[in-house]
Structure 1
């Protein structure tokens, strides 16, 4: 499940990435269990949720013009690009008519899309990506190429594992759109402020990786969707962001 060091993309063969790579090398059995769990559970969930998929597909097509799925190109393990499966909640070609990030009260969101997003149902189609191995249940959310190209060296360590449906960062930043509301330059603020804070948790999750830890994150995600709030590690975030700025200098 983990490539040999010399087989990694050159941009990942750095001292910053090596620290996290060595941690994962000691947990290869857990990585195998993680992948088997992804295949087994995603297959079951796809079968059980197939009626929901059908209902959402019909609702999306009736509500607005465009495809059922939004297939934006994202980045997963080792820098591989793939087209993510998300139920379309915005007007067709929305990414060409505004920011790559969805904001609060975004006018591009359709009527049915608003309801789907509120219930977090747009993400369930990523079970397809989990089954085929482009994603995993717990891991760093897949970013678009534009943002990955702006990763600091240490952030590249998150590409040692497949992109995830959920993560600790997702739980703590579930209302990310509120942080970017009324911001003049959304992309700059996201890359310079929001992304580094999320990366603090993504990298910490690799340090503490375990199969049962993933199960715990999935349970916390369920509670978060139901309305439970979790407290962020503000001190850790600030120290991590400060270390990034120090490296830049």
Structure 2
């Protein structure tokens, strides 16, 4: 049954991302133009992430910060929306998660899924798959997603270790019912902006 559910999940990913790109293409074009007109630099931000089985791939996002932001200020840490490295249009995109939309291309080519554990950068919270604790490697058993259980439940309000526990729970309990529940909750989250940035007393980081 799990194998069947995974096959259906992939079909949903391909059809969903393809239809999504077609339907929202006017929005994508509008965002692209807005980014280009309001700040210097490329429209897209590409970054190496760890995917299924720890394989490295480049994730696509709309650029929401100044060029080379990871080398300025607090590096990977983004404490709040007042971070001077975030562009004006970037604040809107990050708050609504619209900056994640280009990842529909990652889904089409098989690197990602609509739902799954968020793909971490290659050097944080651990440098490479081999340095993850054995219990945490389970999150890499499935393709990473644009959204996931951790995103709809806690987003960035808890430490990476706590988020990984939610990711592992998703891997263990995965079925199509859970998949659609997460997608529905994600849709509702578009109208909220809580838990986007790290809290001062939490050992967590919001990635670029």
Fold shared, TM-score > 0.5 on shorter chain: yes
Q: CA RMSD in A?
A: 1.9
What CA distance in whole angstroms lies between the structure 2 residues aligned with 1:81 and 1:202? 18
What CA distance in whole angstroms lies between the structure 2 residues aligned with 1:103 and 1:213? 31
- 2:14 alignment partner in structure 1: 39
SS in 2 for 1:72: strand
What CA distance in whole angstroms lies between the structure 2 residues aligned with 1:56 and 1:228? 19
User: Please, which runs of 5 or more residues in structure 2 have no aligned partner?
Assistant: 195-208
- 1:166 alignment partner in structure 2: 147
Deviations 1:40-96 (A, max 9, x none): 110000011111111111110111111101101111001111111100000011112
SS in 1 for 2:85: coil
Deviations 1:125-158 (A, max 9, x none): 1111111111101110010011243421111111
What CA distance in whole angstroms lies between the structure 2 residues aligned with 1:113 and 1:61? 11
The yes-or-no answer on 1:195 pairing with 2:160 is: yes
What CA distance in whole angstroms lies between the structure 2 residues aligned with 1:31 and 1:223? 25
Q: In the TM superposition, what is the alpha-carbon distance from 1:102 to its structure 2 partner? A: 2.7
- 2:197 alignment partner in structure 1: none
Structure whose CA Rg is larger: 1
Q: Hey, which bits of structure 1, 4+ residues long, moved more than 6 A?
A: none
- 1:15 alignment partner in structure 2: none
The yes-or-no answer on 1:29 pairing with 2:4 is: yes
- 1:151 alignment partner in structure 2: 132
User: What is the TM-score with the length of structure 1 in the denominator?
Assistant: 0.71
Deviations 1:15-63 (A, max 9, x none): xxxxxxxxxxx61111111111100110000011111111111110111
Deviations 1:223-246 (A, max 9, x none): 2332398xxxxxxxxxxxxxxxxx
User: What is the TM-score with the length of structure 2 in the denominator?
Assistant: 0.85
What CA distance in whole angstroms lies between the structure 1 residues aligned with 2:35 and 2:57? 23
Report 1:74-89 matches (<5 A).
74-89=49-64
Report 1:116-155 matches (<5 A).
116-147=93-124, 148-149=126-127, 150-155=131-136
- 1:57 alignment partner in structure 2: 32
Q: Is the 8 A contact 2:148 2:182 kept in 1?
A: yes
User: Please, which runs of 5 or more residues in structure 1 have no aligned partner?
Assistant: 1-25, 180-192, 230-249
